[in-house]
Amino acid sequence: MKDYDENDIRYQHAKRQVERLSRFYRHLFIYVVVNILIVFYNCKHLDPGESYFQFKNFFTATLWGIGLVAHAISVFLPNVGFVRNWEEERIRKEMKKNKE
């Protein structure tokens, strides 16, 4: 029975990781599409001789990019010591509680 529980836990971890990856890639895709649309809009509304390289034209991409980087860190570095240990310990406690 222990092997089944361990395999089940590994399966659930893998499934959660795949779901995290899927959400991240959707987030990345939307980020790219929206920012391309913003670039086209901004280029279309430039005054003659006005440079595109202004802070206002990069504001959304910069702030959203910071959020995207944070999302990437949470997806691609989930094994950061205390977080993973806490998750595994919490899973064991929940499983023990459910058996009782």
Under 8 Å between Cβ of 45 and 78? no
Exposure string over 24-48, b if 16+ CB within 10 A, otherwise e: beebeeebeeeeeebeeeeeeeeee
What single-letter DSSP state applies at residue 47? Answer: P
Instruction: Calculate the average pLDDT of the chain.
Output: 82
Q: Would you say residue 24 has pLDDT above 90?
A: yes
Pinpoint the alpha helices (H) of the chain: 2-44, 55-76, 81-99
Q: Tens digit of pLDDT for each residue in 25-56?
A: 999 999 999 999 998 988 888 888 878 788 78
Q: Would you say residue 1 has pLDDT above 50?
A: no
Q: Quick one: pLDDT at residue 9?
A: 78
| Average pLDDT of the segment spanning 14-32 | 93
Torsion-angle region of residue 46: left (phi > 0), alpha (psi -120 to 50) or beta? Answer: beta
> Residue 35 and residue 31: Cα distance in Å, rounded?
6
